[in-house]
Structure 1
Amino acid sequence: MSATQTPARTPGPSRLDLLKHFFRSGFRFVEALTEEAEKHGDTFVLPLEVPTYILRNPDDIKHILVSNPLNYHKTGGLTVGEKVIGQGLVSSEEPLHGKQRRTMQPMFHKASISKFTEMMLESTASHTRDWKDGDSIDMSLEMMHLTITIVGLSLFNVDLYREGRELGMEFNRALNLVTRIQLMPFLPKWAMGSLQRKLDDSISKIDEAMAKIISDRRKLPESEWPHDLLSMILASRYEDGSPMPDKLVRDEVVTIILAGHETVANHLNWTWYLLARHPEVHDKLLKEWDEVLGGEEPSMEHMGRLPYTLMVLAESMRLYPPAWTLARRVVAPEKLPSGLELKAGDELLIMQYVSHRNPAYFPEPEKFIPERFSAENKDSIPKYVYYPFGLGPRFCIGEGFARLEALLLLVKMGRRFRFEMARSGEVRPETLIALRPRKGLPMIVRNAR
């Protein structure tokens, strides 16, 4: 079989059908693949240069991500984006990944992240202090600016508020360029060279900002370092006593800032979008907050007492998971539980966006129904069908941090404001490393009551 042939007995669209579908859908990548899953089932193959399987069978997903993860290396956008994020925690492989995770894990324990509650609430109050009824905002920019400020203060003890908007936009530019380079390898050399030069310029600006954060910390005596993630990284030592190399320190800082603000910002973006389309859900949230919180500020202790709020956040991540796909390359041949036989070098796409719309587990999958995640219903959703934070040894280290931040910001802002869409029509997702609203999220600020 040649490299471009579709493996026998595995269903999937022809190359012509795939192109027609993308043209008809306006190149809606994830939407098109969700429709292909409905046509072809839980496993199908795309006729690309390297056989690329789309998988949503729960047993296969468990095997790849949990039972035998070392046989599946990261690939896709993270590989192309290595110039941006380097060998940080998100993109590295074993044994480096395990060492990095052990270094950072204490910072993400429940006791550690609960200390950030007051700062998260104060940052949100400060950021939204001047908003008033009738103001026009781009929610995607506002959430990016707020969450990058929070990750800077909590994990690096650095106030990025002034530089946050510019830094966040630089990350956005770099990721857009990475995506274009990945998806358009057929461009002429001069055009590809232009994209690469723009990417290099963007990365140099990011590197400059990261170098300042690291050098400012190193100028202090070690006894004066704050107890934060940056100090943990700088103080860490390998088995031979050597410190983490400067390049890897840079990669870790970039990865944590990028991942730490992108996921929460986009989770909230999509939540505000869904609430704007479903004001009755916002009404139910206000009722729960009044009954449970009264005049109190939300905290980690309230998470278990705000079930409807957690349902709304879970359903938002079902429809629009910020981490929308996991790309893997097969290291050694093996047969999956479904019977699919894989060869070394095959590519796999395990797409949360597609799995989360499986009608076998989520009836009327395109509808926003928070009650899917009620105590009565949640047991009907298998672990390997809904996995917004990943699974197995690469499960998102910042899951607890992200869940707390999303809840606090939703309550803090949602008690005071509602948000209306400033333009008609459906907001389309943009498939960068995180799932973002395409062309931003222009909204009108309204008083909540």
Structure 2
Amino acid sequence: MPDRHPPGPKGVPLLGNLPGLGRGMVEFMMETATHGDVASFTIGPTRNYLLSHPDHIHDVLVLRRDKFTKDPHDLRTLGRWMGKGLLTSDGEHHRRQRRLVQPAFRHRRMAGYGEIAVDATQRLIEGWRPGDVRDMHHEMMKLTLNVVSRSMFGSGVPDEEAYKVQRAVAGLQDIAIQISKFGMLVSPWLLLPLHQLLKRGTRVLDEAVMRIIAERRASGEDHGDLLSMFLLAQDEVDGGGMTDQQVRDEAVTIFVAGQETTANGLTWAWYLLSQHPEVAEKLGAELDEVLGGRPPTAEDLPRLRYTGMVFKEALRFCPPAWTLNKRTPVEDVELGGYRLRRGSGIFIMPYVMHHHERYFPDPFRFDPERFAPEREADIPRYAFMPFGGGERICVGAGFAEMEAKLILATLAQRFRFTLAPGQRVALKPLVTLAPKYGLRLRVADRSS
């Protein structure tokens, strides 16, 4: 096959498309996608490709997954403090860990996690009053951190120990974001202070988590939480379990994946509902009919059909997992009529796919009816992927969806929201897609 590059945006000498990326990665990738299903761009001397056809994404994530690996730089940066959990591992280790972790998210455990989500939400809003202005991004981050902490450690860990883990994870995430952000722009030695902070923060995290694991393993008790499930897990293939280090790595991964993505998904849902009162009204009507004023439970979710449609459309409109980890071909591969060279970068962007007019007509219109069952069936598998895809699809996707829908139902049952005066709304695409300026909303009773 001739060695020709797909079309793409023009770059500048030496830097390639780095200046365009620096002006806004979401905007740059959306423009790049207009050049074709396989489009190319460069970052310095490295050739990169953006895939925006479901068949090509399926090829990379499923059919020929062994020919692609996660980007080594991403794995190194995250792996230094997250270890070798599901987010940062590859190959057979990843497959074995997935077999061990999956039972923790099976149906018989989910109802208990749902009760935690509803209880935590009710506690959060005890002091809310009509007329209050709340930063919903801050509130949702606080709420989901509480939910994931209680789901992970249950009642078997003192609050101060759980808070120590929470603070350490939040701090390390901030440092890792800075390292990733500046890694392509400055000399590695300039990042040494950040790497030292990462090392110290990891030591604090390890001490806290390993102490909790040692105490729980010594007790041998099943507290019905995620930590108990990780400690009790046995691989169906080799019969072995997890070492303390593997339990630590998966616990940290759950904190990272289970808090921020859900919080951001809910934050964008509240913003979109504040801008579309007719959708909020229909959502409230469903909650009144199904719940009749009582708190929701996991068993109610099949009947909360429109609630699920609203959340899915929010995930489409502003997907928290807006980009997947960059892939790198381990050998030259052919894709879409082009030769993709070994060592190049492969980008798969859920945000781009979720706003592709071919799959979502009028993509910047908020329309939960897209996910009515008869219409959702027509959406190609890899056109909508809020939790990733292939063998690396988020193992806790069911947990996250249940948690978010129950939180959405609990809050929307009582309140409606309007955007606070002067609140600016813009995307902040880092590890997840957050609101750049927070999200201040005014609280009102639904009955008023």
TM beyond 0.5: yes
- Structure 1 residue aligned with 2:277: 279
Give the distance between the partners of 1:87 and 1:241, measured in 2 at CA: 20
Maintained 8 Å contact 1:325/1:353: yes
Deviation at 1:47, TM superposition (A): 0.9
Alignment of 1:198-277 (within 5 A): 198-220=197-219, 222=220, 224-236=221-233, 244-277=242-275
Query: Counterpart in 2 of 1:50?
Result: 46
Are the structure 2 counterparts of residues 206 and 447 from structure 1 closer, same or farther at C-alpha, using a change threshold of 3 Å? farther
Which residue of 2 is the match for residue 8 of structure 1? 4
**Shift in alpha-carbon separation, 1:244–1:209, aligned structure 2, 3 A:** same
User: How do residues 130-149 of structure 1 correspond to structure 2 at under 5 angstroms?
Assistant: 130-149=127-146
- 1:260-313: per-residue Cα shift (whole Å, max 9, x none)? 122211111111111122222111111111122223332333222222211111
Structure 1: distance between partners of 2:95 and 2:110:
21
TM-score for the superposition, normalised by structure 1: 0.89
| Aligned position for 2:353 | 355
SS at match of 2:46: coil
Does 78-87 or 277-286 show the bigger shift? 78-87
Give distance in 2, aligned partners of 1:273 and 1:209: 36
| One-letter amino acid of the counterpart of residue 115, structure 1 | G
Partners in 1 of 2:285 and 2:435 — Cα distance?
28
Secondary structure of the residue that 1:380 maps to in structure 2? Answer: coil
CA distance in 2, matches of 1:440, 1:205: 29
Does the 8 Å contact 2:133/2:440 carry over to 1? yes
Query: Bigger CA drift: 362-371 or 178-187?
Result: 178-187
Deviations 1:222-268 (A, max 9, x none): 1x232433223334467887753333222111001211122211111
Q: 1:68 aligns with which of 64, 70, 86?
A: 64
Equivalent-residue separation in structure 1 for 2:375 and 2:233 (angstroms): 44
Residue 286 of structure 2 is matched in structure 1 by 288
Aligned mates of 1:73, 1:125 — CA distance in 2: 43
Distance 1:189 1:390, change over 3 A: closer
The alpha carbon displacement at 1:411 in A equals 0.6
Q: Which ranges of structure 1 fall in alignment gaps of 5 or more residues?
A: 1-6
Name the structure 2 match of 1:315. 313
* Cross-structure match for 2:24: 28
Q: 2:399 aligns with which of 398, 401, 411?
A: 401
**How many angstroms does 1:165 deviate by?**
6.9
The aligned residue for residue 330 of structure 2 is: 331
Name the structure 1 match of 2:78.
81
**Structure 1 pair 281–190 and aligned structure 2 pair: CA distance change class (3 A):** same
1:189 Cα deviation from its structure 2 partner: 5.6
Q: CA deviation at 1:169?
A: 5.4
Structure 1 window deviating more from structure 2 (86-95 vs 298-307): it is 298-307
Q: Distance in 2 between matches of 1:306 and 1:241?
A: 40
The TM-score normalised by the length of structure 2 is: 0.89
Q: Against the structure 1 CA distance between its residues 234 and 167, is the aligned structure 2 distance closer, same or farther, given a 3 Å change threshold?
A: closer
Q: Deviations over 1:56-97 (max 9, x none)?
A: 111111111121222221226444222221100121112111
The Cα RMSD (Å) is 2.5
What is the aligned counterpart of 1:41 among 28, 36, 41? Answer: 36
CA deviation vs aligned residue, 1:103-158 (integer Å, no higher than 9, x gap)? 12111112221232222211211121111122233222221221122122223325
**Equivalent residue number for residue 4 of structure 1:** none
3-state SS, counterpart of residue 270 of structure 1: helix
Partners of 1:423 and 1:65 lie apart in 2 by: 44
User: Hey, what does 2:369 align to over in structure 1?
Assistant: 371
Say whether residues 1:109 and 2:87 are aligned partners.
no
Distance 2:368 2:191 in 1: 44
Shift of 1:34: 0.9
Given that 2:78 and 2:88 are in contact with CA atoms closer than 8 Å, whether structure 1 keeps it comes out as no
Change (3 A) 1:122 1:420: same
Question: Would the aligned equivalents of 2:153 and 2:162 in 1 still touch at CA under 8 Å?
Answer: no
Q: Is the 8 A contact 1:285 1:309 kept in 2?
A: yes
Contact 1:50–1:346 (CA under 8 A) maintained in structure 2: yes
Partner of 2:373, secondary structure, is coil
Q: Secondary structure at the match of 1:95?
A: helix
Select the residue among 406, 428, 431 that pairs with 2:429: 431
Superposition deviation, residue 188 in structure 1: 4.8
Q: Distance in 2 between the 1:317 and 1:164 partners?
A: 29
Distance 1:353 1:99 in 2: 30
Distance 2:145 2:212 in 1: 14
Q: How many residues align?
A: 436
- Shift of the alpha carbon at 1:216? 3.0
| Aligned equivalents of 1:72, 1:22: Cα separation in 2 | 24
Distance 1:420 1:341 in 2: 50
Amino acid at match of 1:74: K
Q: What residue in structure 2 maps to residue 304 of structure 1?
A: 302
SS of corresponding position for 2:96: helix
Contact 1:153 1:160 in 2 (8 A): no
Question: Does the C-alpha gap of structure 1 residues 171 and 138 become closer, same or farther in structure 2, counting only changes over 3 Å?
Answer: farther
1:190 is displaced (CA, Å) by 5.8
